[in-house]
Amino acid sequence: MAGKKWRGFADFQTPENQNEAIMTVCPGNPDQEGSRFNAIMEAAGRQLTRLFIIQAGDLGFHNLKRFNPKSEAAMFARIRGERWQEIHQPTINKHMSGRCEVIPMANIISDTSFPERVALIKDIYERGNNSVTDWFNDSANYNNPARMKRMQEKGGSVEEWALRSDSLDYLCDEYAMRSLMWKRFSLEEIYLGRAVNQHDFFQRENTERPEIDLTIPKVLPITIHSVQMKHDKRIGRAVPVSESPPIPDYARNIIEAGQGPKKALG
């Protein structure tokens, strides 16, 4: 039996006079698919005149390579990213037609400096006794128990050291890519989830090759609000149980109608 359709809205705050932004999407993240993604794009369409979405499906390779040959893991990650765009392009068009460009991660990391950026970030981590090492370790400690549980539920198993290694590879690729996003766009990033939000977080530790700028976009956090509904017999339809936090006028009709993309990417 299908679960209840999620209802809610997204919000984020942009600095005054800023109406362009970038956003990283990682296909496979349920908060960036289906009705939740619709809510994010609804908010973006109201607040931004231009949005560049970096479709980072290729990062999924690091979550797949322990259970698949590396070539197959890379291919599946790439295909999952392409399917994500196929499924969600109508939502993008609905809220930001002509104002939003989806750019595959491969396009960003084609910059010839990408491998060296990855290596520099990894060297900073391995040097230790710095904020990069601490944050990467905290991130692995936060994410890996859930990853381990999902793998066990699927009948697989993996050593903790292997998960930490995969997490490090993922983070090095992600933040090397994000430094290239800053180089290319010089825009702040609306971002969902845990992230480094200091521009110079990596660059200030980059004493080896400071001419390769590891500055990353400043993060503008996206918040997803779930809205609980109840049936109002007087008017014959569902209404929000609570008005806290306040529901934006633009989101109210969709929330009460229960509209949105039918299915998130599997």
* Residue among 107, 45, 65 nearest 82 (CA): 107
In a domain, 34, yes or no: yes
In a domain, 256, yes or no: no
**Mean pLDDT of the 21-42 span:** 92
In a domain, 120, yes or no: yes
Predicted confidence at residue 31, as pLDDT, reads: 86
Model confidence at 122, in pLDDT bands (50, 70, 90)? very high
* pLDDT tens by residue, 66-106: 677 788 888 999 999 999 999 999 999 999 999 999 999 99
CATH number of the domain encompassing residue 36? 3.40.50.11710
* Residue among 212, 260, 257, 203 nearest 10 (CA): 260
In a domain, 187, yes or no: yes
Q: What is the largest CA-CA distance in the chain?
A: 69
In a domain, 85, yes or no: yes
Q: The whole model's pTM is what?
A: 0.83
User: How far is Cα 209 from Cα 75, in angstroms, rounded to an integer?
Assistant: 33
* pLDDT tens by residue, 138-188: 988 866 666 666 666 666 666 776 778 888 999 999 999 999 999 999 999
Question: What are the DSSP calls for 72-129, one per residue?
Answer: HHHHHHHHHHHHHHHHHHHHHHHHHTTTEEEEEHHHHTTSTTHHHHHHHHHHHHHH-S
What total number of domains does the chain contain? 1
Predicted confidence at residue 2, as pLDDT, reads: 47
User: How far is Cα 101 from Cα 189, in angstroms, rounded to an integer?
Assistant: 14
In a domain, 265, yes or no: no
In a domain, 14, yes or no: no
Q: Which domain holds residue 51?
A: 19-224
In a domain, 60, yes or no: yes
